[in-house]
Structure 1
Amino acid sequence: MIVGLGGNTVAIFVYLRKYKESSYRTFIVSLAIVDLVTCCAPMMIVVLGLRYPINLFSIWACKMSSFLIYFMCIGSSAILVTIAGERYRKVCVPHGRQLSARMSKYVCIMDVLLGIVLAWPAAVLYGNKSVTNGQDKIVGTKCDVSDELQDTNYPVYFKKIFLLFVNFDSSFVHVRLNWETNISYEENSLLKTTKKILQSDLANIEFPPCNCSLKEDESKEEIVQNICDNRLDISRISTKPNGEETKSVESKGKPHVFRARNLNQNEEGKQEKTVAVTRLFFIITVVYFCSFIPPFALGFATFLNKEFKSSLSFAGTVAYQMFR
């Protein structure tokens, strides 16, 4: 909780102050805000629940924390799906229409609204649940599915829908971002290899004696680099009456000039940035997916063995309460 409060606050501050407006910044800030909201109220209530396991102090605090926890999971999953779609457009359709910074804000708002719509049943289902201390036979209450709805099918339906939604989203985003990261890496490697080959071929060209509009002290290697990184106006190559060719290389060409666009330093920088951003979102998705493994595993073990929780030692009970 402490790490989440500090880390998300720093992330929001840095990305809002140091980065220019973009869809990438919008997604990072949206994820940080959703996680920060969860760290503020629900986690504190969960800590109090661990401190007083059979003494529920407020039913409304229980309902609010349950709703916000489910909202965070669903909202974050929806935002990650949006990120996967945006990365697909950026990597696989780079020259097509991209998601603008303004549109990405609207999409994130829709993801948040989707989280609210799918998480509101938690506020209805959760409340007072009667529990008995196994040693002293003391009857108390804790924050869980309320006694009135415990024996109905509503909690089962809600949890099944929630698990299916989160698992599908996490698996979809994980596979899609992994695929896009590999594509970006291969394209970036091919771009660098092609540039090296072209530079090597151009370096072996023997230029005939000519009068060039380039600087007199410019070396052959600098001419090659200029051809690779800028634009060569072929129409400016002419022949003098004595048979000598005159070449001129201009940094700004016209539509009919040869352009080494894919070998341009600016294009290469954009490609490397796309790879880095896609890799970052892939790591975020992996961490997010792994965070659900412990509670899912404990829930599955409890479902298969009703005596699983009661058979745990003190250390096991502490670990169960931390990761459930």
Structure 2
Amino acid sequence: MHNTSFHDDHVAYLREYDDRYALQVLPAILFLAILTLVGFAGNSLVCYVYIVKFKPSPTNSYIIALAIFDLVNCGICIPHEIAAMRYRYTFARYGLCRVIKLIMAFVSYASGAIILTIAVDRYRKICRPFQRQATWLVAKVAITVCSVLSLIFASPAAVVFGEGTLTTSDIHINGSDCSTADEYSVTVYPGIYNGTQFFLFVATTLCLVVLYSLIWRQIARQGTFLNKVKAKQTIHSGQQIHTPIAAFSVQLDAPEGVCAVSVADSKPPTDELTNQYQIHSETEDGVCSSKRTPTVLDSSTNARVARTLSTRSSSRKDKRPDKTLFMLCLITFVFVLSSLPHLSLKATRSVNKQIFKGIQGARLTAYSLFLRSYFINSAANPIIYGFCNLYFRRELRFLWEKVTCRPQG
């Protein structure tokens, strides 16, 4: 009876610490709750639309993989973090820390790997259009490889993290939270793990910056060439035009596989008779591909091509690439921006373990929120899809009309 009473007093004492801590970090808890609701609903819709309504393609496969990882974050990881903040001194004793930390690390690594793979795929499509492009099957293999490698890199999290002791004002009563395990807290392993994680993030970010810089440079060149074609067409109006188009890149403007043609790696127009490249766009497994066949364009065909290219150029006076590329760039930017505060805090804490000890009030709230900033990415991605993808918005509208029994129009 005495042991039972002592245990009840022990738990009641720690509950008071739970309540005081939860009150201080309440804004962070509410913010994560909103991310959970928005992210889970949004990513569920993304999975439904891209799996059921859109044709299979490499880009769609990558987006589905990202949505699944984001669903795991919103359905498992964020609720765990909310519970860990609400019951900071008692939640770790339920034994979920190591498993959840492993899942969180795996999802983080896998999302970064998929985003890097998307950047490589975009680079090949725009800057190397006539090389062999990834198919739907290749994309599935790439996703599998990314997942396996991510699990390998994340596996140390199941060892390094666990129950960490939290002291209270009573030296006889200690709580525990989900953080660095006590047996590793005084070793170099947490620092090595966090340092490796930060290094991989920096390396991935640099690769993304380089790849998208090359892509945007190529798009700028295309815009310059289109302006020259337009000027040449104006000068030689009514005459036969011989414009050597050295290469065409075919871009995917829509998940259904709608093809659009743009010019890449081209030479300035010339009046000399040369072999021209006629454009043949076709869709294979939802992916646009291109073929080159030498031909000589007559005046009417050449004028039609020039008008098409000039119209496409003038319709994009803001020099912006296709919506798919813009959407993927935005997803990459949000991923990097949301991960930076989290990794910066972890790196700082690895260097100085006492730097955040004892913080209270608004500083504690900000720290708790920034330490989990990478969750923002999981809730933001569906919003980005809806903002950038007309076809995605259309399918959502059809789904809403179907659910509410409204006539589709």
Which category of TM-score, normalised to the shorter sequence, fits these structures?
0.7 to 0.9
Q: Please, what TM-score do these two structures have when normalized by structure 2? A: 0.60
Q: Is the 8 A contact 2:226 2:309 kept in 1?
A: no
Q: Is the 8 A contact 2:198 2:347 kept in 1?
A: no
1:293 pairs with 2:323: no
**Corresponding residue number in structure 1 for 2:148:** 113
Shift of 1:300: 4.3
Aligned to 1:159: 194
Q: Residue 315 of structure 1 is aligned with which of 350, 359, 362? A: 362
SS of 1:292's equivalent in the other structure is helix
Q: Distance in 2 between matches of 1:150 and 1:304?
A: 13
Specify the alignment match of 1:140 in structure 2.
175
| Structure-1 residue corresponding to 2:114 | 79
Counterpart of 1:85 in structure 2: which amino acid?
V
- Give, in angstroms, the shift of residue 52 of structure 1: 0.8
Q: Return closer, same or farther for 1:304/1:121 CA change in 2, 3 Å cut-off.
A: closer
Asked if the contact 2:226–2:310 (Cα under 8 Å) also holds between the matched residues in 1, the reply is no
Q: 1:135-155 CA distances to partner (integer Å, 9 max, x unpaired)?
A: 455411111121112222222
Greater RCO (CA < 8 Å, at least 6 residues apart): 2
User: Does 1:171 find its partner at 2:183?
Assistant: no
TM-score, with structure 1 as normaliser: 0.75
**How far is the alpha carbon of 1:257 from its aligned partner?**
3.9
In structure 2, what is the Cα distance between the partners aligned to 1:117 and 1:263? 52
> Deviation of residue 303 (structure 1)?
4.6
Deviation at 1:63? 1.1
Distance 1:150 1:312, change over 3 A: closer
Read off the aligned partner of 2:76 and give its amino acid letter: A
User: Alpha carbons of 1:124 and 1:256: their partners in 2 closer, same or farther (altered >3 Å)?
Assistant: closer
1:233-273 CA distances to partner (integer Å, 9 max, x unpaired)? Answer: xxxxxxxxxxxxxxxxxxxxx9654275974849997xx89
In structure 1, the partner of 2:324 is 277
Quote the residue 2:135 is aligned against. 100
Q: What is the CA–CA distance in structure 2 between the aligned matches of 1:173 and 1:41, rounded to whole Å?
A: 28
Query: Measured at CA, do residues 122 and 304 of structure 1 come closer, stay the same or move farther in structure 2, by a change above 3 Å?
Result: closer
Take 1:18 and 1:30, find their aligned partners in 2: how far apart are those partners? Answer: 16
Partner of 2:70: 35
Matched residues in 2 for 1:94 and 1:22: separation? 16
Answer yes or no: is 1:63 the counterpart of 2:110: no
Cα gap change, 1:27 to 1:313, in 2 (>3 Å): same
Structure 1 contact 126–146 (Cα < 8 Å) conserved: yes
Q: Which deviates the most, 307-316 or 49-58?
A: 307-316
Q: Judging changes above 3 Å, is the alpha-carbon distance between structure 1 residues 101 and 108 closer, same or farther for their aligned structure 2 residues?
A: same
Q: Residue by residue, what CA displacement relative to the aligned partner does 1:147-179 show, whole Å, maximum 9, x if unpaired?
A: 112222222222222221122112211331133
- Two-structure CA RMSD over aligned residues (Å): 3.0
Could you say which structure has the larger radius of gyration? 1
Whether contact under 8 Å (1:91, 1:274) holds in the other structure is no
| Contact map agreement 2:229 2:310 (CA 8 A) in 1 | no
Aligned residue among 161, 173, 178 for 1:126: 161
Secondary structure in 1 matching 2:96:
helix
Residue segments in structure 1 that go unaligned for 5+ positions in a row: 207-253
- What is the CA–CA distance in structure 2 between the aligned matches of 1:24 and 1:45, rounded to whole Å? 31
Amino acid at match of 2:139: S
Q: Which amino acid aligns with 2:364?
A: T
Gaps of 5+ in 2: 1-35, 241-292, 372-409
Q: Is the 8 A contact 1:125 1:145 kept in 2?
A: yes
CA apart distance, 1:44 = 0.9
- What is the one-letter code of the residue matched to 2:195? K
Question: 2-side partners of 1:158 and 1:62: how far apart?
Answer: 17
Residue of structure 2 aligned with 1:21, choices 56, 63, 69:
56
Residue by residue over 1:16-41, the C-alpha shift from the partner in whole angstroms, topping out at 9 and shown as x without a partner, is: 23322211111111111111112111
- What CA deviation, in whole Å up to 9, does each residue of 1:62-100 have, x standing for no partner? 112101111111111111221121112111111111011
Over 3 Å counting, the alpha-carbon distance change for 1:127 and 1:6 in structure 2 is: same
Q: Report deviation, 1:57.
A: 4.5
- C-alpha separation between the residues in 1 aligned to 2:102 and 2:310? 45
Report the alpha carbon displacement of residue 191 of structure 1 after superposing the two structures with TM: 4.6
Are 1:5 and 2:5 matched, yes or no? no
CA 1:308–1:153 in structure 2 vs 1: closer, same or farther (change >3 Å)? closer
Please give the secondary structure, in 1, of the residue aligned with 2:355.
coil
For each residue in 1:107-162, what CA deviation from the matched residue of structure 2 results, as whole angstroms up to 9, or x when unmatched? 011101111111111112211111113x4554111111211122222222222222
Question: How far apart are the structure 1 equivalents of 2:346 and 2:174?
Answer: 24
- Structure-1 residue corresponding to 2:227: 193
Partner in structure 1 of residue 215 of structure 2: 180
Contact 1:67-1:123 within 8 A present in 2 as well: yes
SS of 2:179's equivalent?
strand
Shift of the alpha carbon at 1:11?
1.8
